[in-house]
Structure formats: C-alpha cells, structure tokens
C-alpha cells in the first residue's frame, strides 16, 4: 500500500467537504484538527529524535529518502484518517450492519498494511511503524475525546437559546 501524501491530502479534503456539506461540521473540524496536529507533532518528533532511515548497505531500499524515520508518517496517517473513517462509517450505517462491517474490515486491512509496506520498501524500521501507530492512535483518541466534549458543549449552548 503506497500512497503519496498528495493523494492522502486530496482524500482528506474530499472527506472534509463531504462532512461539511452533510452538516457534520463538528466532525469535520475535529478531523482536520486531528490531521493537522498529528502531522505537526510527527514532524516535531522526527526532528527531535532524528533517527536515520534504513540505508541500502543494511537492507533493501526501494527509494532512499532524506527525511528522518521515527515515527512513520504513513502509520500515523493510517491511524488518524482510518480511525475517523471507521467512526463515521459506524454512525452513517448504524442500521446496515453487513455494509458497516464490510467497510470496517476493508479500512482495518488498509490501515494494517500501511505500516508493513513501509518496512517492506525499506523506508522505515519496524519500530518506526509501531511508534507511528501508537502516536497516531494517541492523537486519534485525543481527537475523539475533544470532539465528544466539543459536541456536548455545543448542545448545551444551543439548549440555552
């Protein structure tokens, strides 16, 4: 599973527009916020830890990159983007269990393959991918908590009108 960042950005923008047009604006803001904060935090971690990527002298490398290795950006994006899609899928198709389960299974497979594909291509060490999944999962959990808190605050403010 090899996705260019341009493709992921285009998909995130499309999802943002769909969420906004279907009046799921809190989810849209939470999704974009999670992706922005997750990416910024990942970049800070990469600069702070400064772990080098695998080198061709050590392992097979499909395409050598100059950026730092830990954590894997693909693993972070898979957790954040895929996690939000799983939640939205659950809410959208509550009464269509088979469809919801099939879509969730596909998403989970894609999320699960994003990390190992980075190791296979020689772009990351296994620990980079695990770190990306953990960091992405942490950002995902925090964004869900903030989204839930924010939607509760919005309901309270509208109830007082």
Give the pLDDT of the chain (161 residues) as one tens digit per residue.
445 556 667 777 787 788 788 877 777 778 888 888 888 889 899 999 999 888 888 888 888 887 888 998 889 988 988 888 888 777 776 777 887 788 888 888 988 898 998 889 888 889 999 999 999 999 999 888 887 777 666 565 555 54
- Residue the block writes with tokens 């939205």: 88
Torsion of CA 55, 56, 62, 67, to 10 degrees: 20
E-strand stretches of the chain: none
Report the distance separating Cα 40 and Cα 145, nearest Å. Answer: 19
Q: How many CA atoms lie within 13 A of 143 on its CB side?
A: 25
The per-residue pLDDT for 153 is 63
The per-residue pLDDT for 158 is 55
Cβ 84 vs Cβ 140: under 8 Å: yes
- Residue the block writes with tokens 């772990």: 51
């Amino acid at each position: 599973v090899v996705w260019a960042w341009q493709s992921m950005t285009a998909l995130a923008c499309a999802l943002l527009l769909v969420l906004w047009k279907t009046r799921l604006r809190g989810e849209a803001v939470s999704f974009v916020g999670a992706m922005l904060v997750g990416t910024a935090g990942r970049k800070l971690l990469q600069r702070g830890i400064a772990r080098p990527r695998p080198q061709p002298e050590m392992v097979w490398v499909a395409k050598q990159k100059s950026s730092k290795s830990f954590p894997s950006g693909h693993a972070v994006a898979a957790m954040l983007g895929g996690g939000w899609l799983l939640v939205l899928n659950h809410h959208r198709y509550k009464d269509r269990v088979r469809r919801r389960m099939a879509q969730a299974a596909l998403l989970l497979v894609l999320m699960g393959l994003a990390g190992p594909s980075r190791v296979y291509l020689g772009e990351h060490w296994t620990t980079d991918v695990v770190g990306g999944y953990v960091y992405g999962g942490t950002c995902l959990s925090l964004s869900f908590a903030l989204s839930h808190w924010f939607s509760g605050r919005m309901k309270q403010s509208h109830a007082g009108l």
